[in-house]
Amino acid sequence: MAPSCLFSSLPEKSIDIVKVFSIFSEKFLTRSHSSYPDPFLRILTMSTTKDPSDQKLDAESTVKRNPHPDFKGVEASRPDFDQSSQFRFTKTPQPGWKPGEGANNPPPADAKHREIDPYEEGRPIIHNYKLLISGIVPRPVGFVATNTPEGTTNLAPFSYFSLISHDPPLFTLGFSGGFDRPKDTLSNLIKTEECTLNIISEDFIEAANYTALNCPVGISEWTFAGLTPAKSSLVKVDRVKEAVFSIEAKLVETREWESKVIKGKKTGVLAIVEGVRFWVREDAVDEPGVLIDPKVLRPISRLGGITFARVTEAFELPRPVYGEITKDPEIAKLAKPKTEGQ
């Protein structure tokens, strides 16, 4: 973190303190949050902006995700949401596919790819953001609840969210902006080290989306969404009762990222949290507690722009076993160190 970010208002006589802090920060910035001495952590997580809404670094006025000047007008022209559509299993796209056959629907022979340098001179970083969220899809949405140390509640959706381990159960959350201008969720997570992760379903997507509201500090999104808080067992943060699947979690560590374009600018934070308790609606989980019924979960995924997707169809595809498939002499011929063209 550049000292100028934190100490721009200090008098000149404080310059020696600033230098000491600069050395100290360089040493500790890459550590887990739990490695910071408490006073340092408080300074590190302070916001230097006067307007709390300025901390919402992905505000629509900046990111401009919505491509429609008149969204309600565009929405009115579309068919109604199909409430009758139920989750179902289908065959795979090409049940007769055989090893070595490649794509079952190959692109045109003259199809070409465009090479894009993410750091190309003149390319706005926001273009990388929009490209990535439209290409890395579908993404699960992490519906994260946190509290301030004083008890103010917060609820927000995150599409930079994923499962990375089952033993221990670990999840990642990605935040735009650095520790110097933390989003409410990140600030709360650092201070209390607790949160709940809730999976969004079709049944409350509008309410969940409304929690992306850029509320001022001290104002809870829960009331705007109208969702129901349910008590957790091991953390003080409430889970969302409407969620079919929720996870109580505790912070493991964080890491801050720096821009490759603007030297010294902190552009993101990765948080890893550990799931310490699972909650699944009884009508959605099997007896052993290992499989959640997608017909009940009805999960929502994130696509590019302001687009979401529902899951109504699926197919099952067993993983191949090398020792079994290579018993076929024709398939065994495919066992090579390289494929054609490499």
Mean pLDDT of the chain: 84
Instruction: Note whether residue 245 is domain-resident.
Output: yes
- Backbone dihedral region of 200: left (phi > 0), alpha (psi from -120 to 50 degrees) or beta? beta
Range of the domain at 113: 59-314
Q: Read off the pTM.
A: 0.78
Dist. CA 135–CA 139, nearest whole Å: 10
pLDDT grade for 117, boundaries at 50, 70 and 90: very high
User: pLDDT tens digits for 45-92?
Assistant: 343 333 444 444 445 566 677 777 787 887 888 888 888 888 999 999
Instruction: Note whether residue 258 is domain-resident.
Output: yes
| Mean pLDDT along residues 157-177 | 96
Dist. CA 173–CA 143, nearest whole Å: 10
How many domains does the chain contain in total? 1
Instruction: Note whether residue 306 is domain-resident.
Output: yes
Report which of 278, 161, 147 is spatially closest to residue 222, judged by C-alpha positions: 147
Phi/psi of residue 274, nearest 5 degrees: -105, 130
User: pLDDT tens digits for 253-289?
Assistant: 999 999 998 999 999 999 999 999 999 999 999 999 9
Instruction: Note whether residue 151 is domain-resident.
Output: yes
Instruction: Note whether residue 272 is domain-resident.
Output: yes
Domain at 222, CATH number: 2.30.110.10
Phi/psi of residue 131, nearest 5 degrees: -65, -45
pLDDT of residue 286: 96
pLDDT of residue 52: 41
Report which of 272, 282, 191 is spatially closest to residue 237, judged by C-alpha positions: 191
Instruction: Note whether residue 322 is domain-resident.
Output: no
Mean pLDDT is lowest, of 12-21, 174-183, 277-286, for 12-21
Instruction: Note whether residue 329 is domain-resident.
Output: no
Instruction: Note whether residue 332 is domain-resident.
Output: no
